[in-house]
């Protein structure tokens, strides 16, 4: 707190050279402009991931270069504004730029330290690094929020480091030549020798150290010192185009001391005669072989199996589950009879048939490691291994996975001894051409369908979603959002991330295809259309619709043919190399890690993405400008003009260009000479608030006005500053520093017709009453600001609110509301006797706003 | 002979040429979904060979490629069949290249990246014109 006040009230730096204010202000505007360009470019790049655009590699290279250029200019701009070198920022920039170059040149691997990665950091973009199997389990765990056994992966980079020893990789390349020569016997000998060399090659010490460090971290997460593991292959291509199922080794129920040896065994299994020749047969090049190895906690399975989310050979429109008591392996290997259950693919997932077989035995983790068969209790022999509830949960989960990957899936699963469903693996099901469902022609499928609306708004994420509309109007609605519904909302908001995994689609009236919610919809691959304008007037909760976010049409009813078309498409655009590349690049560009400017980590060194740098510079530039305008840290600052107004604000106006219509050397300015859009609206809001404030404060208008000029207590300000409030204005901009009553307020606002430039920054601090009442007032302000879409941070009595990128009219409303708020809160702390008062005042304020300013 | 769709109307035949495979891979299913017949090529030599042996209603081609460029493809396609409509797609869109494409008879000139919808509409326009003149 002390630091914050110190930051606000002191200005310790000395400048080498004092530049004209107009020059510095121009630089500030350049920074704003570059800032916006960068945000737009980032949004554009993110936009391309939605599937609506056709782009190529050249685009990715150019866009990455362009965004880098602007970030560089931004740092240079800040250097001029602050007249410092900002070496640390340039260093951060260079680090990020190098990472992007690395991605573009195909070096996906981070320079060091990522030989082993925990499950929590994995996603499908990392399949080159961690193999397809583990990359997908990363999605399952981190994006779909489903349960999969916790663990870590020894990456393909570790594989290459391991295999470089003793020239193992070169040996493998050589061996593949024998295969080309068609000499099977020779190839088999080479394969045997290769496996032996791998098994006898030591794992590099720094690698084994990292493996054990990850194991220790895992044991700590599990709060168990004794952990059994399953050690499984996660190779390139495995589980992707070609099913390598059963080709590679896995170790079940392994103890920690088997980790290193188990790792070598799994790696060696890539070079067994069976697996190697299979791979070469399929046309894989030797350099396309890389084996990551997943190490996950061994699950105590009660019942396990495999589910196919689509089984046209068995039954149209159905899923098929095979299940057994105990571990999953026998179901995968297919060497035991299993219960077979056929279930509808659509909610409520009715069970069509259930074939229960004799299950005399089950595979379990053996006490001394490994697995063993044991007899089932007699009463379990002939009963279904899955309950209806379990089937329901399994079906829902399976369809969530299928929706995410947009392909029928083969899912290995288990219910553990506590009844928790755990996903062990998922891979795309491929159908032989002759067995694939005939491709329905999309035109025929929709020929007779009723179109509710089409071509409204923007497609954010392509895809088809069928379900019932559920309109979300409040946080309470979010809590009861039904699984499989299509979310209908007025405005986009990142708050909806909480239901993304349940929604089959999203439709909004208002919103930007480049906002935060749009990124989330793409991340979760939820078919989404925003800014339709009409959706909430044409749709209501309960309507069954088919949202075709590929064609941008909303149909009435369930047009399942459209859905089926999506599932049988030859290729899923998200899986294309270029999409994965762009997504990986954006990881160095878009995520924002520097959220809180008050945090001590808000430093150049902490910038991990271009967005971080952009955010940092924006904050620093605004800060610099506030300092400049407060402290006259510039030459030729036009003479401050005193505002002559009904409300005695004691406001000095500095016109930095086009903000007033009076002569430059004039020493006074009247309200009708104020051209600056934000200041004009702020003053009008403040004026109107005078009327409102009579109620809660219970004073007449005259005394309210008089109180505005009340002097400050000596603890808050030096006598010189009393009654002197400052506004730096341009036609579309104001930066205002105000002390009214006992409060200190800063507003930095830019309002124009260019939506992306618009922003309001509001900061409130001060008050003389005891801390608890001041906190209530802060709470009041925070609630009001939140109501009007500000992003709000509260630290004790300090409230910071930000709102950006709304239309000019909505920005104008908000600046007027801030005028009202400043007036209303002027002496509110004296009124805040209890927490209940907060809600009362919020309501009262909103009522008056509604009455005076209208529908906001 | 042109094949027919389920309504008995002839299906338009489209040749797509772009040296970046992703462009063909995205366009092919999108056009097929609407009932067009599509062939794709990643190098201009094989596309030119194909143009010599079969007639296409529409050719969608990249502008800058190794070997014959988009303008050359445009010229050859028009020579093979004057009715063929050619759409040029390019990441190097300049006024000059656009002007040259149009003067050589291109139907449209589309800058990359483009929306799938835009190119589909462009093809639909050609289809509508065809139907109107038949």
Q: Kindly give, in sequence order, each residue whose CB lies less than 8 Å from that of residue A442, ignoring residues fewer than 6 positions away.
A: A551, A561, A562, A565, B33, B34
Q: Cβ-count burial of A816 within 10 angstroms (0-12 exposed, 13-18 middle, 19+ buried)?
A: buried
**Strand spans (E) along A249-401:** 250-254, 291-297, 301-308, 318-325, 339-344, 351-355, 361-365, 371-375
Of all residues in chain A, the percent with pLDDT exceeding 90 is: 39
Q: Which residues pair with A416 in a beta bridge?
A: A301
- Which position has the token pair 């941070």? A793
- Residue-averaged pLDDT of chain A: 81
Element (H, E) at A577: helix A577-589
The Cα diameter of chain B in Å comes to 42
Q: Which residues of A touch B27 (CB under 8 A)?
A: 54
Q: Average pLDDT in the A232-246 region?
A: 71
Tell me whether A578 touches chain B (CB under 8 Å): yes
Q: Which residues of A touch B18 (CB under 8 A)?
A: 56
Please answer yes or no on whether A573 and B115 come within 8 Å at the CB atom. Answer: no
pLDDT band of A752, cuts 50, 70, 90: very high
Length of chain B: 134
- Which position has the token pair 């209501």? A540
Q: Which residues of A touch B34 (CB under 8 A)?
A: 442-443
CA distance A737 to A653: 10
Find the range with the poorest average confidence among A17-21, A232-236, B15-19.
A17-21
Q: What is the dihedral of CA A489, A495, A501, A505, to 10 degrees?
A: 20
Please answer yes or no on whether B91 and A441 come within 8 Å at the CB atom. Answer: no
pLDDT at A693: 43
- State how far residue A518 is from chain B, nearest Cα, in angstroms: 17
Q: Average pLDDT in the A298-304 region?
A: 95
CA distance B20 to B113: 12
Q: Which residues pair with A152 in a beta bridge?
A: A118, A295
Tell me whether B57 touches chain A (CB under 8 Å): no
CB distance A413 to A304 below 8 Å? yes
The pairing of beta strand B58-62 with beta strand B13-17: parallel
* A48, A565, A576 member nearest B33 (Cβ): A565
Tell me whether A771 touches chain B (CB under 8 Å): no
Q: Average pLDDT in the A78-87 region?
A: 89
Q: Kindly give, in sequence order, each residue whose CB lies less than 8 Å from that of residue A848, ignoring residues fewer than 6 positions away.
A: A692, A695, A820
CA distance A544 to A537: 15
Find the range with the poorest average confidence among A464-473, A489-498, B42-51.
A489-498
Domain boundaries, chain A: 150-297, 301-416, 447-558, 638-853
CA distance A31 to A49: 28
A129 CB-side CA count, 13 A: 28
Q: Kindly give, in sequence order, each residue whose CB lies less than 8 Å from that of residue A784, ignoring residues fewer than 6 positions away.
A: A817, A821, A842, A845, A846
**pLDDT(A278) > 90:** no
Q: Which residues of A touch B5 (CB under 8 A)?
A: 441
Element (H, E) at A701: helix A701-708
Q: Return residues 55-94 of A near B (CB < 8 Å).
A: 55-59, 62
Q: What are the structural domains of chain B?
A: 13-133 (3.40.50.2300)
* CA A617 vs CA A31, A35, A330, A730, A827: distances in Å: 8, 9, 58, 21, 35
pLDDT at A7: 46
- Chain B nearest-CA residue for A53: B115
What is the architecture, at CATH level 2, of domain A447-558?
3-Layer(bba) Sandwich (3.50)
Q: Mind listing the pLDDT tens digit for each residue in A524-555?
A: 788 999 889 899 999 999 999 999 998 899 99
What is the strand order of the sheet A318-325 is part of? A351-355, A339-344, A318-325, A301-308, A409-416, A421-428
Please answer yes or no on whether A54 and B25 come within 8 Å at the CB atom. Answer: no
pLDDT at A630: 57
Q: Which residues of B touch A456 (CB under 8 A)?
A: none
Report which of A669, A652, A771 is spatially closest to residue A722, judged by C-alpha positions. A652
* B5, B26, B32 member nearest A54 (Cβ): B26
Tell me whether B116 touches chain A (CB under 8 Å): yes
Report which of A493, A488, A526, A487 is spatially closest to residue A511, judged by C-alpha positions. A493
pLDDT at A695: 40
Fold type of domain A150-297: Dna Ligase; domain 1 (3.30.1490)
Find the range with the poorest average confidence among A45-59, A471-485, A786-800.
A786-800
Tell me whether B3 touches chain A (CB under 8 Å): no
pLDDT at A244: 65
pLDDT band of B39, cuts 50, 70, 90: very high
Query: What is this structure's pTM?
Result: 0.62
CB distance A59 to A104 below 8 Å? no
pLDDT at A827: 61
Please state whether the peptide bond connecting residue B113 to the residue before it is cis, i.e. omega within 30 degrees of 0: yes
* Residue predicted with more confidence, A828 or A808: A808
Q: Mind listing the pLDDT tens digit for each residue in A383-396?
A: 999 999 999 999 99
Tell me whether B33 touches chain A (CB under 8 Å): yes
Tell me whether A573 touches chain B (CB under 8 Å): yes
* Residue predicted with more confidence, A381 or A23: A381
Q: According to CATH, what is the number of the domain A301-416? A: 3.30.470.20
> Best mutation site among A46, A54, A63 for testing chain B: the one with the most B CBs within 10 Å?
A54
Q: Which residues pair with A95 in a beta bridge?
A: none
**pLDDT(A243) > 60:** no
Q: Which residues of B touch A568 (CB under 8 A)?
A: none
Contacts 24+ apart (CB under 8 A), A540-543: A540/A469, A540/A471, A540/A488, A541/A468, A541/A469, A541/A470, A541/A471, A541/A488, A542/A468, A542/A469, A543/A468, A543/A469
CB distance A391 to A377 below 8 Å? no
CA A288 to chain CA centroid, nearest Å: 31
Tell me whether A576 touches chain B (CB under 8 Å): yes
The ipTM of this complex is 0.91
Of all residues in chain A, the percent with pLDDT exceeding 70 is: 81
CA A757 to chain CA centroid, nearest Å: 23
Report which of B112, B79, B115, B117 is spatially closest to residue B97, judged by C-alpha positions. B112
Would you give the DSSP letter of residue A121? G
Please answer yes or no on whether B117 and A52 come within 8 Å at the CB atom. Answer: yes
CA distance B42 to B19: 4
Please answer yes or no on whether B20 and A569 come within 8 Å at the CB atom. Answer: no
Q: Kindly give, in sequence order, each residue whose CB lies less than 8 Å from that of residue B4, ignoring residues fewer than 6 positions away.
A: B10, B11
Q: Mind listing the pLDDT tens digit for each residue in A621-671?
A: 767 766 675 565 555 556 678 888 877 777 888 887 789 998 877 888 999
Q: Which residues pair with A680 in a beta bridge?
A: none
Q: And the tokens for A459?
A: 């497609």
Tell me whether B67 touches chain A (CB under 8 Å): no
CB distance A815 to A682 below 8 Å? yes
Tell me whether B134 touches chain A (CB under 8 Å): no
């Amino acid at each position: 707190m002390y630091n914050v006040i110190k930051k606000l009230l002191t200005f310790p730096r000395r400048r080498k050279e004092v530049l004209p204010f107009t020059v510095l202000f121009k630089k500030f505007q350049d920074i704003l402009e570059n800032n916006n360009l960068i945000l737009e470019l980032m949004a554009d790049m993110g936009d391309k991931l939605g599937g609506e655009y056709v782009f190529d590699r050249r685009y990715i290279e150019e866009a990455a270069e362009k965004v880098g250029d602007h970030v560089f200019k931004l740092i240079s701009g800040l250097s001029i504004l602050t007249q410092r070198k900002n070496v640390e920022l340039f260093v951060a920039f260079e680090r990020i730029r190098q990472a992007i170059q690395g991605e573009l040149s195909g070096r996906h691997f981070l320079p060091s330290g990522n030989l082993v990665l925990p499950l929590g950091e994995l996603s499908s973009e990392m399949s080159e690094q961690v193999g397809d199997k583990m990359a997908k389990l990363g999605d399952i765990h981190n994006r779909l929020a489903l349960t999969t056994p916790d663990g870590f992966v020894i990456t393909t980079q570790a594989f290459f480091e391991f295999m470089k020893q003793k020239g193992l990789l070169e040996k493998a390349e050589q061996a593949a030549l024998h295969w080309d020569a068609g000499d099977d016997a020779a190839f088999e000998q080479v394969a045997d020798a290769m496996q032996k060399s791998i098994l006898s090659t030591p794992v590099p010490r720094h690698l084994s150290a990292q493996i054990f460090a990850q194991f220790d971290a895992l044991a700590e997460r599990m709060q168990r010192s004794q952990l059994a593991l399953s050690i499984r292959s996660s190779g390139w291509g495995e589980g992707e185009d070609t099913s390598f199922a059963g080709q590679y080794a896995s170790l079940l129920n392994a103890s920690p001391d088997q980790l290193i040896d188990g790792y070598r065994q799994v790696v060696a299994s890539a070079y067994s005669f069976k697996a190697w020749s299979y791979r070469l047969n399929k046309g894989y090049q030797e350099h396309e072989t890389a084996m990551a190895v997943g190490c996950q906690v061994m699950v105590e399975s009660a019942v396990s199996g495999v589910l196919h989310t689509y089984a046209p050979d068995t039954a149209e429109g159905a899923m098929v589950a095979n299940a057994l008591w105990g571990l999953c392996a026998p179901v995968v290997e297919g060497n035991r009879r299993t219960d077979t259950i056929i279930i509808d693919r659509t909610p409520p997932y009715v069970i069509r048939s259930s074939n229960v077989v004799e299950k005399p035995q089950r595979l379990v983790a053996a006490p001394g490691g490994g697995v063993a068969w044991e007899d089932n209790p007699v009463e379990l022999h002939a009963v279904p291994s899955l309950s209806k509830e379990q089937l329901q949960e399994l079906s829902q989960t399976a369809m969530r996975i299928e929706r995410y990957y947009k392909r029928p899936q083969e899912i290995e699963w288990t219910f553990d001894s506590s009844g928790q469903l755990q996903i062990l693996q998922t891979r795309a099901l491929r159908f032989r051409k002759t067995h694939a469902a005939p491709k329905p022609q999309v035109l025929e499928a929709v020929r007779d369908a009723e179109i509710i609306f089409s071509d409204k708004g923007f497609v954010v994420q392509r895809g088809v979603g069928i379900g019932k509309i559920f309109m979300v109007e409040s946080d309470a609605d979010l809590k009861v959002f039904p699984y499989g519904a299509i979310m209908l909302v007025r405005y986009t908001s990142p708050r909806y991330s909480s239901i993304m995994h349940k929604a089959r689609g999203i439709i909004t009236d208002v919103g930007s295809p480049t906002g935060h919610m749009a990124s989330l919809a793409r991340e979760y691959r939820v078919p989404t259309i925003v800014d339709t304008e009409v959706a909430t007037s044409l749709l209501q909760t309960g309507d069954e619709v088919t949202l075709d976010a590929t064609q941008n049409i909303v149909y009435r009813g369930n047009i399942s043919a459209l859905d089926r078309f999506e599932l049988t498409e030859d290729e899923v655009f998200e899986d294309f190399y270029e999409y994965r590349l762009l997504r990986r690049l954006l990881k160095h560009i878009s995520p924002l890690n520097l959220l809180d400017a008050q945090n001590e980590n808000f430093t150049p060194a902490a910038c991990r993405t271009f967005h971080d740098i952009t955010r940092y510079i924006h904050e620093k530039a605004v800060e610099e400008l506030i300092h400049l305008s407060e402290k006259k840290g510039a030459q030729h600052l036009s003479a401050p003009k005193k505002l002559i107004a009904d409300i005695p604000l004691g406001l000095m106006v500095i016109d930095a260009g086009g903000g007033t219509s009076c002569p430059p050397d004039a020493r006074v300015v009247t309200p009708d000479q104020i051209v600056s859009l934000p200041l004009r609206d702020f003053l009008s809001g403040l004026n109107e608030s005078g009327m409102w404030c009579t109620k809660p404060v219970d004073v007449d208008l005259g005394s309210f006005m008089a109180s505005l000029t009340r002097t400050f207590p000596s603890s808050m300000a030096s006598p010189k500053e009393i009654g002197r409030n400052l506004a730096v204005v341009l036609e579309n901009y104001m930066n205002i520093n105000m002390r009214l009553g006992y409060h200190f307020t800063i507003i930095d606002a830019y309002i124009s017709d260019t939506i992306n430039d618009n922003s309001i920054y509001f900061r409130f601090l001060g008050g003389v009453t005891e801390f608890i009442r001041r906190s209530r007032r802060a709470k009041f302000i925070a609630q009001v600001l939140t109501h009007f879409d500000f992003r709000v941070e509260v630290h004790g009595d300090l409230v910071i609110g930000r709102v950006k990128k709304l239309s000019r009219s909505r920005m104008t409303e908000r600046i007027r509301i801030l005028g009202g708020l400043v007036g209303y809160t002027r002496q509110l702390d004296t009124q805040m006797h209890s927490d209940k008062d907060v809600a009362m005042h919020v309501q009262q304020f909103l009522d008056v706003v509604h009455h005076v300013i209208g529908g906001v | 002979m042109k094949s027919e769709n389920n309504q008995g109307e002839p299906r338009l035949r489209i040749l797509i040429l772009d040296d970046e495979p992703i462009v063909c891979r995205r366009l092919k299913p999108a056009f097929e979904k609407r009932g067009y017949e599509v062939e794709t090529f990643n190098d201009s030599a094989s596309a030119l060979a194909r143009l010599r042996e079969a007639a296409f209603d529409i050719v969608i081609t990249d502008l800058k490629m190794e070997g014959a460029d988009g303008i050359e493809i445009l010229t050859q396609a028009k020579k093979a069949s004057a009715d063929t409509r050619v759409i040029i797609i390019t990441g190097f869109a300049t006024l000059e290249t656009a002007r040259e494409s149009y003067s050589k008879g291109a139907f449209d000139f589309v800058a990359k990246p483009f929306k799938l919808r835009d190119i589909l509409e462009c093809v639909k326009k050609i289809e509508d014109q065809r139907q109107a003149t038949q």
